[in-house]
Amino acid sequence: MVTPAADGHVDVRVLLVAAVSSGQGKTTVTAALARKLAKRGQRVRVFKCGPDFIDPMLLERASGAPVKSLDMWMVGAEHCRSQLAAAARDADVILIEGVMGLYDGTPSSADLARAFGFPVMAVIDASAMAQTAGALVLGLRDYGPVEMAGVIANRVASPNHAAMVAASLRDIPLFATLPRQTRSMPERHLGLVLPGEVNDIDAMLDELAEQLAFDDAAWGKLRNTRIELPAPAPATAPTLAGKTVAIARDAAFAFLYPANLDTLRQLGATLQFFSPLADEEVPAGADAVYLPGGYPELHPQTLSRADNWSASIRAAHAAGVPIVAECGGMMALAESLTDQKGETWSMAGLLGGRIVMQPRLAGLGSQGLATPHGALRGHTFHYSRLETEVAAAAHTVKHPSGAAGEALYRVGSLTASYFHAYFPSNPAAAASLFLRGEAA
């Protein structure tokens, strides 16, 4: 364990793994690097920049530790600092996977790197280039600028190919290379499949770690980053003390920020998990129900036949139990769901209307919800649409444009939306969602 210095900081090795765009292999490379360092006995902590649920699951499997989110807007600078400081006390290395391209988004991965003084490790897909790699990386470094610690070249064909890439980088070291893969993690419409769906996921990660040709001399020259310790945060008012929140968690309801669960516990709630896919009822005595996002569209037949689950959520609703349904959770509470094949399945029916899957992205980006307690921040990402005659009770606001975002519906004790809330951004607003007679 790292002991903080007397003047209130921790020094730790940090790398922000970024690229020119999505599709360069950031997640694969970050996972390979995390697994390789962990196998060498290093204590590795990994973060994901920006809103994401699926990549952190893979990175958690690779590193052996929970993966949380860093984002200058959704998470906020002080909460980012708090999470980094907590990780730095227990880690030899902190890896942060960037989002999209290095300068994409408001704020971007580069904004995070500059705010905290992180060196950047550029991942490039070298499969269709050689010397041009240098121009690409120098541009990434100088445009911001950012501190460019080095390069990891992905999909390298041969040692000679790697040598050409290295020569083009001038004063930037080629930190590591990864060869073209004969197979890759399967993907679906929201990105990678869930790690639990890949039978030999650990063997794949071990193979990636073995194939990552690593320059130990370059690694030894990497500097530490100083993480300033934040002032102690004010205690969270235990407004959910004595309350039990039942949370759906299975392959259909898997999109849960670990920080959301932490916040509910800090608010005093007891968490009890159950599986609608296994036709488990809402736990008896639950004071509130949380249905997070996930992949109900992959399991509509199972959900449509889960009579115990459906009856129990309808009974909870009839009894006035607060129900918070985000994205996939809302989809499971509509009257029906039409899947990618065009087949229609009955759902629990708490929210009038039908869900229809579509091939094109229907919603993406950071958004905030105005509440009596202030803004509750989060994001949206979905490939379905809700066709309903239920009037929206409110709309989120898109960041940074300020345009109207996702509709939020209230039907009795149900609050439902495609919006994924990040509870630490406003614990009081999050708590109000789970209390009878209150609404964020």
Name the more confident of 235 and 381.
381
Name the more confident of 192 and 123.
123
| Residue 230 banded pLDDT, cuts 50, 70, 90 | confident
pLDDT of res. 236: 85
- Give 21-40 pLDDT, tens digit per residue: 998 999 999 999 999 999 99
First to last CA, the chain: 40
- Among all residues, which ones are annotated catalytic? 327
- Check pLDDT > 80 for residue 199: no
pLDDT of res. 51: 87
Q: Which ranges in the chain are annotated with CATH 3.40.50.300?
A: 9-228
Q: Which ranges in the chain are annotated with CATH 3.40.50.880?
A: 244-433
What is the percent of the chain where pLDDT is above 90? 85
- DSSP 8-state symbol, 195: G
b/e burial code for range 146-184 (CB count within 10 A of at least 16 → b)? bebbbbbbbbbeeeebbebbbebbeebbbbbbbbeeeee
Backbone dihedral angles phi then psi of residue 305, each to the nearest 5 degrees: -100, 0
What helix, strand, coil percent values describe the chain, rounded to 5? 30, 30, 40
| Residue 367 banded pLDDT, cuts 50, 70, 90 | very high
- Check pLDDT > 80 for residue 440: no
CATH of domain 9-228: 3.40.50.300
- Check pLDDT > 90 for residue 77: yes
pLDDT of res. 274: 98
Mean pLDDT of 196-222: 88
Show Cβ contacts of residue 351 under 8 Å, excluding neighbours closer than 6 positions.
Answer: 325, 330, 333, 334, 335, 386, 388, 390, 409, 411, 414, 416
- Give 38-50 pLDDT, tens digit per residue: 999 999 999 999 8
- DSSP 8-state symbol, 8: S
pLDDT of res. 196: 60
- Check pLDDT > 50 for residue 6: no
CA distance 175 to 224: 16
Cα 106 to chain centroid distance, Å, stands at 17
20 half-sphere exposure, CB direction, 13 A CA radius: 19
DSSP character string of 250-276: STTS-B--HHHHHHHHHTTPEEEEE-T
367 half-sphere exposure, CB direction, 13 A CA radius: 23
What global pTM score does this model have? Answer: 0.92
- Check pLDDT > 90 for residue 7: no
Domain 244-433 coded CATH 3.40.50.2300: no
